[in-house]
Amino acid sequence: MKSSEENALRTCVGCGKSKSKDHLIRFIVSPEGKLELDYRGTYPSRGAYLCPRKECFDAAEKKGNWRKSLDVARVVFEKERLFQTLLSVNRTRLLHAVGLAQKAGRLLSGADQVKEGLERGAVKLLILSEDASANTLDNFRYMADSLGVEIVQALSMEDWGAALGKKPRATLAVTDGPFARKIYHEIEIYTDLTAVKSSRTRGD
């Protein structure tokens, strides 16, 4: 599931690898000389990029390459504050995107709805909670794999239920391509930040 910025490459200040902008987080320098998060990558200022991984935050702190990347004389990198801010912003944007899909009628939730959606070929992205039962994981992964539907895992059943105003939910399905790509992108960042492995297959 590719984004529109897949070919715009930038280099991570931490690991030094070149990646699509879509897989990196942008930072800018405030007038006070502090690094600040530019999550949407739209702030009109020179930026530097970092993989959304704890080890890259640690490497960036040790290497101290921010000044060179941002072409400034001094920069304050408050690693823990920025990492926690990134976690919070990512979670907020993920839940917001899922909420918008729900309001637009492009989200299925609960085992019965999701199974029916898979059977009629309507599902673009399948989301399983991190605490879903082994039986739920096996059954829905088998169905999604056989249909070539993308699968990701994120958050808990309680988290999804609360976000949707429903009882705890272990399974969700997105039925719209643009919504699916947006939610997939946020879950990719969430997965990297929390080191939670997700299971994916190739899909639309």
Q: Residue 12 phi/psi, 5° resolution?
A: -70, 130
Exposed e or buried b per residue across 42-56, where buried means at least 16 C-beta atoms within 10 angstroms of its C-beta:
eeeeebbbbbbbeeb
Residue ranges and CATH numbers for the domains of the chain are: 9-77 (3.30.1230.10), 87-194 (3.30.1330.30)
User: What is the per-residue pLDDT for 22?
Assistant: 87
pTM: 0.87
Mean pLDDT, consecutive 10-residue stretches, the chain (204 aa), reads 66 94 93 93 92 94 89 91 96 97 98 97 98 97 96 97 96 98 96 65 38
**30 Ramachandran zone, left/alpha/beta (phi>0; psi -120 to 50):** beta
Q: What is the pLDDT of residue 2?
A: 60
CA atoms within 13 A on the CB side of 2: 6
Q: Pairing relation of β-strands 150-153 and 18-20?
A: unpaired
Terminus-to-terminus CA distance in the chain, angstroms? 6
